[in-house]
Amino acid sequence: MFNVKKNRAVKYVLKQECPFAKFDQTIRYKNSLFLKPKCYPAIVRINLDSYEITEFHTCIKEFENDKPQNAKFVWATATRDNFLYMASLNDSRMLIFDMDSYEFEVKSIGEYNFGFFSMCFDGEFFWLSAWKKGFIIKWEEQTGQCWEFEYYPNASSDIQALIGADLVDTGEKIFIFQRNFQDIYTLDKSSGIINKLPVSLYRNISTNKLSEVKQTGYWYARLFNKEIMAFSPYDYSLRIFDIQGNEKNIYPCKMNKEGLFDLERRTIEACYVREALPYYINEGSIGISEYIDYAINSDSYFKKEIISYEKNMSYMDGLSGANIHQRIIKSVVEERGYK
């Protein structure tokens, strides 16, 4: 933890080892910051005044599984007054944690055989998107009553396994943004009618053919000033919709190829000149042949060595970045007499 105003840092070692994704969200409440666990077996509270750290393990024990690398919770979280709600990723249960007294309660959300990916609370009902199922569940906490809304009725089991959706509440409707598909749906909260938005952003991809599924969906969809902002990893852009579902603006969030190559060249050279730190090119985004073309035409001191790499490197094994690093280190040592 680092206090920017006081220029003070505090290090805290967690009580249990967890080499996997420990936390994926923070919740600010009064003078506390709560770390919501993904794989870590506790909710962690940080007192922002005293920097005191408290771990709450008992409330998470009921959600433990045999594989600690498996997530217990993801983004199905919401707050209501002093309560933090966390829906399980693996079954239909809800952890309700009191952020004042630190007491907790576990409630069942129907009797479903699936967990939940994301959630929103509209002041009266909780709306949850099922994990690996094309369902939205409407849950009333006081009565325990549930309503089901299905938006992928004909999807194959392979496609169902990829389903996970962000939910955005706009008042009258719930917007459903898929993580792995281009489809955007709206659920009318009064009538229960589900519609697919007529937004043709990308090529048409069938949701019944697994081989055609690409990373075309949306990550991080949120409502801001009566506009919906959704980030698309398909083309690295921020897409803005109004609350009727009309696309308004697209903002690219990526550098052009020339700018990226120039930045990478300067970064790599700076690392070698100063610290000889390893670099690993993003082989999924930039092919090794493209990297070689750029390196040959650059002013880098390893230009002549890189020419011979193309016949030796294969980006399919995922090791070309490491191999190139070792070869360049060797050439630098030999050429400049470093020891």
Q: Which tops the pLDDT comparison, 183 or 118?
A: 118
The mean per-residue pLDDT over the stretch 83-112 comes to 97
Tell me which of 62 and 332 has the higher pLDDT.
62
Task: Read off the pLDDT of each residue in 4-25 and give the average, rounded to a whole number.
Answer: 82
Winning range, highest mean pLDDT, from 206-210, 251-255, 290-294: 251-255
Q: Which domains does the chain show, CATH number per domain?
A: 10-252 (2.130.10.10), 257-336 (no CATH)
Looking at 56-60, 72-76, 233-237, 260-264, which range is the least confident one? 260-264
* pLDDT for position 33: 94
Q: Is residue 148's pLDDT more than 90?
A: yes
Whether pLDDT at 312 is above 70: no
Q: Assess whether pLDDT exceeds 50 at residue 331.
A: yes
pLDDT at 238: 85
pLDDT of residue 305: 47
Phi and psi for 71 in degrees, rounded to 5?
-70, 140
Considering the entire predicted model, what is its pTM? 0.71
Given this model, what pLDDT does residue 264 score? Answer: 64
How big is the chain by its Cα radius of gyration, in Å? 24
Which among 119-123, 205-209, 218-222, 316-320 has the top mean pLDDT? 119-123
* pLDDT reported for residue 15: 86
* pLDDT attached to residue 152: 83
Whether residue 211 has pLDDT greater than 70: no
43: left (phi over 0), alpha (psi -120 to 50) or beta: beta
- 3-state SS of the chain? CEECCCCEECCCCCCCCCCCCCEEEEEEECCEEEEEECCCCCEEEEECCCCCEEEECHHHHCCCCCCCCCCCCCECEEEECCEEEEECCCCCEEEEEECCCCCEEEEECCCCCCCEEEEEECCCCEEEEECCCCEEEEECCCCCCEEEEECCCCCCHHHHCCCCEEEEECCCEEEEEECCCCCEEEEECCCCCEEECCCCCCCCCCCCCHHHCCCCCCEEEEEECCEEEEEECCCCEEEEEECCCCEEEEEECCCCHHHHHHHHHHHHHHHHHHCCCCCCCCCCCCCHHHHHHHHHCCCCCCHHHHHHHCCCCCHHHCCHHHHHHHHHHHHHHHHHCCC
Residue 311: how many CA atoms within 13 Å on its side-chain side?
Answer: 3
- pLDDT band for 16, please (50, 70, 90 cuts): confident
Predicted confidence at residue 209, as pLDDT, reads 41
Q: Is the pLDDT of residue 280 over 50?
A: no
Q: What is the average pLDDT score of the chain?
A: 78
What percent of the chain has a predicted confidence (pLDDT) above 70? 68
Per-residue pLDDT, averaged over 299-304, amounts to 46
Give the closest residue to 280 by CA, choosing from 333, 312, 319. Answer: 319
**Confidence (pLDDT) at 283:** 41
Q: Poorest-confidence range of 3-7, 13-17, 135-139, 318-322?
A: 318-322
Distance CA 114, CA 27 (A): 25
Q: Would you state the pLDDT for residue 59?
A: 97
